[in-house]
Amino acid sequence: MNPISKLRASMLLTLATVISISTLLLMAVLIFVLPSSNLDFLLTASLGIVFVFHIFQWLLGPKIIDLAYNVKPLPTKYGWIKEIVDGISAKAGIPKPPEPVLADIPVPNAFAYGNFISGYKVAVTKGLISKFPKEEVEAVIGHELGHVKHRDVELMMIVSIIPALILWIGRSLMLAGWFGGGEDESEASLLPLIGVSLIVISFLFNFMILYISRLREYYADSHSALVVPDGARKLQRALARILVVSGEFKRYAPQALAGSSKFKTLMISDPETGVDLHGFTSIEEVVEWIKSRPKLMPTDFFSTHPDPAKRLRFLDKLARNTQ
């Protein structure tokens, strides 16, 4: 099985596991808690509040991101960015190319965002397009257009509802038990235990959501490798260069780095993950050094992005598979 097929299988299996377990939990609450209690309105309100909050966040999110990263229309001198976006979109079968915009921050990075009302956008930072070779910017844009093609904004919003919903129901049941929400004393004593159990389960679900997020980053990497000529190698170089520059910001300008990390889950690379390297004469040497590490981060278990060393090695597999 090739790397992309394995990746798709992992994503489908993880999504199926999350959806099936959460469905069983919710059914258990509906079958064993609601019929014997007076909590119908409380749990129904929990469902409504969580869904409304996430939809509201999804609709307003693009405006918030625009303000957070000082996003502005792409200046005329960067018209080549639009050409890249339009060209890759046509090749990838994206019917309406996203709008390329400029995020006025010095840290090199990129992200895709938007919805059907605001439209979809691909933002490149000033630090990326002013310092990186065009071929590496092209590979980064190929990655971001992968997120658009795969509908990752909508997918991550939907799966993030699950732990939030379980958490809200758990808290509601816990509080209801403490304040006598059950119909009898034994039920009132049982509700807090059920509530705490659901809260713990929601915490565990968040690790599965982070794992899905890391898989989506790999999947977007594979999109760049497939649609951009020599995309895997170009993306390796871009990611390595982002790590080096982020390491410099971490050391010399931590305030700028903190400002770029507000919505780091959107970024192609976590701005807070950088390397402090000296003595290398080329970016290829940096790429090989990163790939030689077992890991660059102590653990990626708590991260929205894959460990950079694993990610660059995965791109090696893609390069071999697409030759």
Distance CA(83)–CA(259), nearest Å, equals 29
Distance CA(41)–CA(19), nearest Å, equals 24
Contacts of 209 (CB under 8 A, 6+ apart): 18, 156, 159, 160, 162, 163
Query: Strand, helix or coil at 100?
Result: strand
Name the nearest CA neighbour of 117 among 56, 70, 173: 56
Residue with tokens 């192609």: 268
Query: Strand, helix or coil at 105?
Result: coil
- 144 tagged catalytic: yes
Name the nearest CA neighbour of 121 among 91, 160, 161, 81: 81
State the catalytic residue, choosing from 138, 144, 187, 217.
144
Contact (CB, 8 A) for 152 and 217? no
Tokens of 27: 């059914």
Contact (CB, 8 A) for 110 and 267? yes
Tokens of 308: 């950079």
Distance CA(100)–CA(125), nearest Å, equals 11
For residue 36, what is the enclosing H or E element?
A: none
Provide the annotated active-site residues.
144
